[in-house]
Amino acid sequence: MSTTAVARHARVAGSLGFAAQGFVFAMILTSLDSFKDRYGIDDLTIAAVILGVCVMAGVGTLIADRIARTPGGSRAVLGTGLVVVAAAVVGVAVAPTFALLACGFAVYGVGLGMVDAGTNMQAVAIQGIYGKSLLTGFYASWSVGGIVGTVLIAVSTGRVSTDPVAFVLLLGTVVAASVAVVVQRFAWREAVAPAGVAPTPGEPRIDPVKPVIPWGPLLLLGLGVVAYYVNDQAVSTWSPIFMHEVLDTTGTITKLGYAAYLAMTLVSRLAGDPCVRRWGRAPVVRVASLVGAGGLLLVITSQAPLQAVLGFAVAGAGLGLIAPLCFSSAGELAPGHADAVVARLNGFNYVGAVLGGVFVGVIGSQSNLRWGFAVPAVLVIAVAVLAGRFGVVRRDQAAVTAGADA
């Protein structure tokens, strides 16, 4: 099979990995309010569960970094992580007590970290083969999966029983396990670079020696990742509760804010790669950040469900581009060590997730969720101010595979 065909198959497998992650993640998060009712827990307990998931996801990222240095590379990271997620969803769906539910979420956190790292490693490697911006397209697949998962939970709420078993969630196990098989067969397989031999541009390889990490630029990108995940976690976790408790809505409409957010992240991500190719990464990050901040302002000031849904949609249109473009930059920081750089940048996901999922909930429980959404808005504005530093880090990377365009 030609290199072009292998890259195309790997691109599809990577996209399915993103979609499966988005599908399961959205299903679990939009089920949090039903877990509150099922186990009789409050917002602070939900915040504690999210914190635990983030901590375990950090552990999963460390595991991913180790596995990525083996001959299996990021393909093994992603495939194994999907299997862990599939198993964890079963535990979450059938847990008869809150203690067992917490254990299921802990296992899910490990799988979450591995899949997050594995998908980004695969995406960066495949982008290197194609020699053009592809990251926002991969994240668009995540949005598609997230939309399907959110809609599925929304239409099944009140119609399909969640006690004693959350039957709909079990579909996440089927999807994750099926995609794991595809990943094992078709995902990109990195070669192991011989000692002292540098990998060629566009041909990512596992480096068996200690990875070179450019911490200065990486920390800057980490700020962007934190800002995105603070907002993303805040919206995904707290938007249904915001719609229900602040705006006094019930039923399916409580899910529409997150659904609108996901729909517009999909739109922005489909348009993101062409925009980067035309205008460059930094201008796109700046505009996206300002649009995202404007959407959050609409949410904070909303007095009716329609305004809140519109605000979440506008926020998604801007915020959806920040994370993929940060990882796109990271892939260029240290050729030959991209997996290690991506794994470390992935750790910032969970810093943002803690701030967005836990602190927003704590602020909301002490005052009002409107104030909880104000903190993420400030961080997005900071990204807009620093967007000039998010441009192409290295310009000597060139495509080495002719005709790789899909």
Q: pLDDT tens digits, residue range 263-286?
A: 999 999 999 999 999 999 889 999
pLDDT (0 to 100) of residue 309: 94
pLDDT of 394: 41
In total, the chain counts a number of residues equal to 406
User: For the whole model, what pTM was predicted?
Assistant: 0.83
406 inside domain: no
| Domain containing residue 176 | 3-188+210-390
Name which of 252, 225, 265, 181 is nearest 354 in CA terms.
225
pLDDT band at 51 (very low <50, low <70, confident <90, very high): confident
Give the number of domains in the chain. Answer: 1
Rounded Cα gap, residues 128 and 185, in angstroms:
20
Q: What is the mean pLDDT of the chain?
A: 85
Which domain CATH number covers 231? 1.20.1250.20
Mean pLDDT lowest for which of 27-31, 59-63, 281-285, 401-405?
A: 401-405
Any domain includes 404: no
Q: Which among 259, 240, 263 has a CA at the least distance from the CA of 250?
A: 240
pLDDT above 80 for 7: yes
Res. 405: pLDDT tops 50: no
Structure tokens at 57: 């996801």
193 — pLDDT class (breaks 50, 70, 90) = very low
Which residues of 280-357 form beta strands (DSSP E)? Answer: none
Buried b or exposed e, range 58-97, using 16+ CB within 10 angstroms: bebbbbbbebbbeebbbbbbbbbbbbbbbbbbbbbbbbee
How far apart are the two ends of the chain, measured CA to CA in Å? 16
Please tell me the predicted confidence (pLDDT) of residue 198.
Answer: 46
Which segment of 184-193, 228-237, 258-267 scores lowest on mean pLDDT?
184-193
pLDDT in tens, 69-102: 898 999 999 999 999 999 999 999 999 999 999 9
pLDDT of residue 319: 94
- pLDDT level of residue 370 (50, 70, 90 thresholds): confident
Q: What is the pLDDT of residue 227?
A: 92
Residue 399 — very low, low, confident or very high, per pLDDT cuts 50/70/90? very low
* CA-closest candidate to residue 170, choices 149, 139, 154, 184: 149
Is 193 a domain residue?
A: no
Residue 7 lies inside a defined structural domain of this protein? yes
pLDDT in tens, 194-252: 444 444 444 444 555 567 788 888 898 999 999 999 998 888 778 878 888 888 887 77
Q: Is residue 403 part of a domain?
A: no
Give mean pLDDT, residues 304-333.
92
Q: How high is the pLDDT of residue 1?
A: 59
Q: For residue 3, what pLDDT is reported? A: 67
Per-residue model confidence as pLDDT tens digits over 164-173: 778 889 999 9
Q: Which residues in 249-259 are b (16+ Cβ under 10 Å) and which e? A: beebbbbbbbb
> How high is the pLDDT of residue 403?
41
Residue 241 makes CB contacts below 8 A (sequence gap 6+) with 32, 33, 43, 254, 364, 369
In a domain, 136, yes or no: yes
- 207 class by beta-carbon count within 10 Å (0-12 exposed, 13-18 middle, 19+ buried): buried
In three-state secondary structure terms, 397 is coil
Place of tokens 């990021």: 74
* Angstrom distance (rounded) from CA 276 to CA 280: 4
pLDDT at 8 over 70: yes
More confidently predicted of 264 and 333: 264
pLDDT of residue 240: 79
Cα–Cα distance measured from residue 141 to residue 175, given in angstroms and rounded to the nearest whole number: 14
205, containing H or E segment: strand 205-206
The share of the chain scoring above pLDDT 70, in percent, equals 89
Residue 204 lies in a domain: no
What is the reported pLDDT for 264?
94
Asked whether residue 399 is assigned to any structural domain, the reply reads: no
Q: pLDDT tens for residues 23-40?
A: 999 899 888 878 887 888
Most confident of 115-129, 187-201, 249-263, 353-367: 115-129
3-class DSSP state for residue 161? Answer: coil
